[in-house]
Amino acid sequence: MNLVNTVTGTCSPDQLGLTLMHEHLMIAWAGWETDSTVRYDREAALRLVTDQVKQLRDLGLETFVDPCPMDLGRDVEFMAEVSHRTGVRVICATGLYTHTLGANAYYRQRKLEELVEIYVHDLTVGIGNTGIKAGLIKCATGAGRITKYEERCLRAAAQAHLKTGAPITTHTENGTMGPQQLDIFASEGVDLSRVIIGHSCGNSDLRYHLGMLERGCTLGFDRFGIEVLLPDKVRLAAMIGLLGIGYEQQLVPSCDSAACLKGRQPRGPSPLKHPSHLWHKIFPALRAAGVGEDKLRTILVDNPRRFFSS
Ligand SMILES: [Zn+2]
Q: Ligand 1 centroid vs 94 CA: distance in angstroms?
A: 13
For 217-268, how does the pLDDT look when each residue is reduced to its tens digit (9 = 90+)?
Answer: 999 999 999 999 999 999 999 999 999 999 999 999 999 999 999 999 988 8
For 62-77, how does the pLDDT look when each residue is reduced to its tens digit (9 = 90+)?
Answer: 999 999 999 999 999 9
For 277-305, how does the pLDDT look when each residue is reduced to its tens digit (9 = 90+)?
Answer: 999 999 999 999 999 999 999 999 999 99
What fold characterizes domain 4-27+41-307?
TIM Barrel (3.20.20)
Report the 10 Å Cβ neighbour count for 280: 12
Q: Ligand 1 centroid vs 254 CA: distance in angstroms?
A: 10
Q: Ligand 1 centroid vs 27 CA: distance in angstroms?
A: 9
**Regarding beta strands 168-171 and 195-197, do their DSSP bridges make them parallel or antiparallel, or are they unpaired?**
parallel
Higher pLDDT, 271 or 11: 11
Contact of 33 with 239, CB cutoff 8 Å: no
Q: Ligand 1 centroid vs 56 CA: distance in angstroms?
A: 18
pTM for the full model? Answer: 0.97
Higher pLDDT, 103 or 188: 188
Q: Ligand 1 centroid vs 308 CA: distance in angstroms?
A: 18
Q: Ligand 1 centroid vs 2 CA: distance in angstroms?
A: 26
Q: Ligand 1 centroid vs 186 CA: distance in angstroms?
A: 23
For residue 1, the model assigns a pLDDT of 78
272: pLDDT confidence band, cut at 50, 70 and 90?
confident
For 7-46, how does the pLDDT look when each residue is reduced to its tens digit (9 = 90+)?
Answer: 999 999 999 999 999 999 999 999 999 999 999 999 999 9
Element (H, E) at 63: strand 63-66
Q: Ligand 1 centroid vs 140 CA: distance in angstroms?
A: 10
Q: Ligand 1 centroid vs 138 CA: distance in angstroms?
A: 10
Q: Ligand 1 centroid vs 299 CA: distance in angstroms?
A: 18
104: pLDDT confidence band, cut at 50, 70 and 90?
confident
